[in-house]
Chain A
Amino acid sequence: MKKSLLFLSMFFVQEILFAQGGVTMADEMRRSGKIYVVVAVLLVIFLGIIIYLVRLDRKLSRLEKNTNS
């Protein structure tokens, strides 16, 4: 009973959000500045992977220099 009431109320929340020209977007996230948290998290993950790649690249360059000299 509680679950279906919660589910039904979601439809009414959508009606309120349609005030901004009919398409619900992440405007609330932008207004509260939380969008920067989203971007920061993604950049941290991405830069972490890039740092791993750079270290691997440097290690390979060092090994290549050793076997060639």
Chain B
Amino acid sequence: MAAPAKPVRRTSDWIAACLLAFAVAPASDARAGYADTPPSDAGAVLSRMAAAMQRWEYEGTLVYLHGHHLTTLRIVHRIDDGESRESLLALSGPIRAVARNGRGVTCVLPDAHPISVEPPHPHSGMLREAPLDAERLAPSYLIHPLGDARIAGRDADVIGVIPRDNLRYGYRFYVDQATGLPLKTDLMDRSSTPIEQVMFTELEVIGEAQPLRSAVASPAEQPESDRPRPKAAEIAAETSERWHFARLPRGFRVVAGEQDAKGRRHIMISDGLASVSVYIEPDRGDGLQGATRLGAVHAAGRVIDDHQVTAVGEVPAETIASILSELRPPL
């Protein structure tokens, strides 16, 4: 049994160095000074950002940068009676586009095989609308304000989410002071080097969504205790009767699971911010063997007990490999 990847414990000096590195962005668009805002407000800014995505109608132009890959994207977001309708279209390079409404998402990619995915079951526990839980993140991340900046002509608060080990990535969010929308997002590796950057170059805020006509709140608006989500322990117990993990990297736990009509099992693992999906299905010879990546997304696959298992997530390759190595078939 392969041992899980051991976290490299960082000293307080290293954390302080990361704070400095996160604060001094390569583009020098984050101005210094973060002593005025208490750390507790950083969590509030992130919560406001999560809510803003569902509160505002907007459209704009984004730039996606990964290594030498630069793509311009056009995004449109509308909300009608509480239901979001949105689209994202690549304006450069081969055709790529995605559109979503309440009934699912459809994506067109260069291989010309459109992909359609229905939304998760309301009671599956899948994370899509779950807000950040600062208490849950605390063991794995340091959340700290990093000053302010100006993006797309708008003032923004800069918040750093700094990993405490090398099992996960860090983030730098530039949150619009007026609306809470994320104007820029940097995904950082353990050396505080940006891996991916997504930034608005132009943003038009159309207006606030109209209040829901029905009295039922969206899952993100419901108090944590009221949300009909399976408890992690229950999910873990159920999973152990089927596929399960001998152990998981520090901070990660099984948070949801479901099985689709084709019999493919999907297990979601998360540390509260980073997430990894593990898919298990009968082996048909068309699955990934080994490891690969697309941008900051890593994937790894293998055959276990005549089943193709594939892990996908925005975590370092070592974390993906560790998770996959600890997967066990039903007892």
A and B together in one complex:
no
Binding site for A on B (CB under 8 A): none
